[in-house]
Amino acid sequence: MAILEMKHVSKYFGKVAANVDVNLSVEQGEVHALLGENGAGKSTLMNILYGLYEQSSGHIYLNGERLKLRNPKDAINKGIGMVHQHFMLVPTLTVIENVVLGMDSNHAILDLKKSAEEFAEMAKNYDMPIDPWAKVSSLSVGQQQRAEILKALYRKASILILDEPTAVLTPQEATALFDVIRRLTAEKLTIILISHKMNEIMAVCNRCTVLRQGRVVATMPVSEIQDASQLAELMVGQQVKLTMDKKPSTPGPCVLKVQNISYKDKHKVSRLNKVSFQIHAGEIVGICGVDGNGQSELVRCITGLIHPSEGQILLGAEDISKEHTSEILKKGVSHIPEDRHKMGMIMDMSINENLILMSFHQKPFSKNKLLNWKWIRSHNEDIVETYNVKTPDIYERAGNLSGGNQQKFVVGRELDRKPALLVAMHPARGLDIGATKFIQQRLLEESERGAAVLLVSTELDEIMELSDRIVVMNSGNVVGIVNQAEATRERLGLMMASEV
């Protein structure tokens, strides 16, 4: 008998379909894996179950009773708990304050001491000891996650949703988490585990449901899965071959040489660890890995937005690791940023104004600090035409364009500068097939022209099609560097998931 059922659940954000006709059935005491790529709709589905979003259509049943979840409180009252990927803990408060925050059963005057005793007792019973009086900001990531799980249990959760729980954990912490999960299911708790890592699903899950583009493609017992590649195929599907006629590259001189760079963030957590690789002119090097394994920090180091704590970044023969972004951009580096909305363009400016963001200070864009709009306009009209940006005119507000057209003009702006080094991060994320193919073709042409291209992507196909060499990253480390000819999905997948 299924304890939880979601029937024909769909969710739309405006025109975008995040979930379409999803059926999910979870049994009591099992660990049910929810599998899928980035953007497959896993998190949206679980946010619906937790009452954060309301489904556009479909129903949810708990123990056969239909649920109407208007907000998380309804879900909590029904015994549903969720540990979000980004922890929902207030860092300035103590563990126990976070645990009791917002509970209906609280008295007006808090008796934290009593709650802390109960909580510590419960934590001990689950074998997850934690100091209730510690400030959350002083805890390690693993401990914070433990606090999140206990917070849900303290609210008497019987179904626990874990959203990518191991994404932020060290391998040791992950092993400990799996022990906890086994322990919880032994106590008849039901767990839904969102993940895209094959090995952890094989390790702890009973059944799994695979989502692709918002739809369920399969539900099966984990015991029936032969190997990781089968799940990979299910997750990714057999994509239409984007036949790129990539000519074999003839690498020129070395353009970018990254030597042993490391970076620690402001919490002193190591994000990059002695990363080294190089790119020659006319070559595309792909960085592949699960999101959040140091790719973003690497790109920010190369473009001068942050500075590595050690190591060198040589552009040609110059060390740019301490340079300001403006200096680096002047040296012929173009950067297609990971999030075009937050970084790459200004929504409230026209396309015309957005297109000069990187070159406005150069001749003939401007002379004596005066912008030459006449020249700029004709130049920008050329870019819009060359890069196939669909817009009524170049004076259109950039935010009014579709995602594909926005990305096209960002790419156009960056390539127009004829860079010696092009850093492209997720250049085709969220785009339709046509725009994706267009942009990928442009990257190829750029390398044929003689630019060194650094391509960061989580799409394996994209990486394998375009890159001459592939750098695989995991937890801020370079796991290995593979030549295109030797790269297979399986090999890359295993490297991405490998423990370092």
Partner 1 sequence: MEEFLVSVFKMAVPLLLCSLGTLFSEKAGTVNIGLEGSMLTGALFGVLGSYWTGSPYIGALIAMTSCVVLSLVFAFFTVTIRANQIVMGVAINTIATGLTISLNRIFLTSASVVKVNGFKSIPIPFLNKIPVIGEVLFDQTVPAYFAYILVFLTWFVYSKTDLGLRIRAVGEYPAACDTVGINVARLRYSTLLYGGIMAGLAGAYISTGQLSAFSEGMISGRGFTAYAAVIFGNFTPLGVFRSCMIFAVGMGLQYRLQAMDTPVSYYFWMMLPYIITIVALCMYRKRSNAPKYSGIPYVKG
Partner 2 sequence: MNETKKNNAIFKTLKAAYYPLFALLIALILMAFIIKLMGYDPLNAYQVLFTSSIKSAYGWGETLAMAIALIFSALSFSIADRSGLINLGASGQLYMGGIAGMLVATNFEGLPSIIHIPLVLIAGGLTGAAFGAIASLLKNQFGASEVVTTMMFNYIAMHFCTYLISGPMKNPASDLAQSKSALPSAVLPLLLKGTRLHAGIFIAIAAILFYYILMYHTTVGYQMRVVGMNPKVGEYAGLKIKTNQLLAMAIAGGMAGLGGAIQATVIDVRLTIDWVGNLGFDGLAVAFLGGHSPIGIAISSVFFGLLLSSANKMEMLAKVPSSVVFLFQGIIIALIIGRRIFQLGLIAKWKSNYQNKKSEASDLLEMTRDAEKTKQDALALKQMTKKGSEE
Q: Which residues bind partner 1 (CB under 8 A)?
A: 50, 52-53, 71-73, 76, 82, 84, 88-93, 97-98, 100-104, 106-110
Q: What angle do CA 289, 482, 420 make, to 5 degrees?
A: 80
Count other Cβ atoms within 10 Å, centred on residue 364. Answer: 10
**Which structure tokens are listed for 440?**
């990928």
Min. distance of Cβ 465 from partner 2 in angstroms? 19
Q: Which element (helix H / strand E) includes 209?
A: strand 207-212
Contact partner, 326, from partner 2, partner 1, none, Cβ < 5-8 Å per class: partner 2
Q: Which does 138 bind (CB under 5 to 8 A by kind): partner 1, partner 2, none?
A: none
Work out whether strand 370-371 and strand 366-367 pair parallel, antiparallel, or are unpaired: antiparallel
* In 278-372, alpha helices (H): 295-302, 325-330, 351-354
Which residue in 90, 343, 433, 500 binds partner 2 (CB under 8 A)? 343
Between 273 and 325, name the residue whose CB sits nearer to partner 2.
325
Member of 213, 276, 309, 441 binding partner 2 (CB under 8 A): 213
Phi first, then psi, for residue 158 (nearest 5°) are: -110, -20
From the list partner 1, partner 2, none, partner contacted by residue 223 (C-beta under 5 to 8 A by kind) = none
Tracing tokens 């960085």 back to the chain, one arrives at 287
Among residue numbers 47 through 86, which ones bind partner 2 (CB under 8 A)?
A: 56
CA–CA dist 191, 37 (Å, integer): 20
Residue 420's nearest CA partner among 275, 232, 280 is 280
Tokens of 82: 């969720």
Contacted by 84, from partner 2, partner 1, none: CB < 5 to 8 Å by type: partner 1
372-391: contacts with partner 2 (CB under 8 A): 373
Residue (94 or 391) nearer to partner 1, CB: 94
Strand (E) or helix (H) holding 171:
helix 171-186
CB of 84 to partner 1, least distance (A): 7
* Residue 14 touches partner 2, criterion: CB under 8 A: yes
Spatial distance between the Cα atoms of 342 and 243, rounded to a whole number of angstroms: 32
Residue 197 site contact among partner 1, partner 2, none (CB < 5 to 8 Å, cut-off depends on kind)? none
Instruction: Output the six-digit token pair for 222.
Output: 């984990």
Touching partner 2, residues 224-283 (CB under 8 A): 226-227, 230, 233-234, 237-238
Whole-angstrom distance, CA of residue 352 vs CA of residue 291: 32
Closest C-alpha to 46, from 201, 211, 197, 188: 211
Region near partner 2 per CB under 8 A, out of 114-122, 127-135, 137-145, 355-363 = 355-363
Cα distances from 71 to residues 49, 75, 76, 228, 360, in angstroms, run: 10, 7, 9, 37, 48
Least distance from C-beta 103 to partner 1, angstroms? 8
Residue 103 touching partner 2 (CB under 8 A): no
Q: Applying CB under 8 A, does 342 fall inside the site for partner 2?
A: yes
Smallest gap from Cβ 233 to partner 2, in A, equals 6
**Angle CA 228–499–82, to nearest 5:** 75
Q: How far is Cα 426 from Cα 440, in angstroms, rounded to an integer?
A: 11
Closer to partner 2 by Cβ: residue 382 or 432: 432
Neighbours of 371 (CB within 10 A): 14
Quick check: 364 binds partner 2 (CB under 8 A)?
Answer: no
Determine which residue in the list 9, 20, 169, 384 makes contact with partner 2, applying CB under 8 A. 20
User: Which of partner 2, partner 1, none lies near 342, with the C-beta cut-off 5 to 8 A by kind?
Assistant: partner 2
Restricting to residues 299-338, name those near partner 2 by CB under 8 A: 303-305, 324-329, 335, 337
Q: Taking CB under 8 A as the rule, does residue 23 contact partner 2?
A: no
* CA-wise closest residue to 180 among 145, 132, 140, 228: 145
By CB under 8 A, is residue 17 in contact with partner 2? yes
CB 338 within 8 A of CB 426: yes
* DSSP codes joined into one string, 269-311: -EEEEEEEEEEETT-EEEEE-STTSSHHHHHHHHTTSS--SEE
Q: Does 8 bind partner 2 (CB under 8 A)?
A: no
Positions in the binding site for partner 2 (CB under 8 A): 12, 14-15, 17, 20, 56, 212-213, 215, 217-218, 226-227, 230, 233-234, 237-238, 303-305, 324-329, 335, 337, 342-349, 353, 356-358, 360-361, 366, 369-371, 373, 393, 395
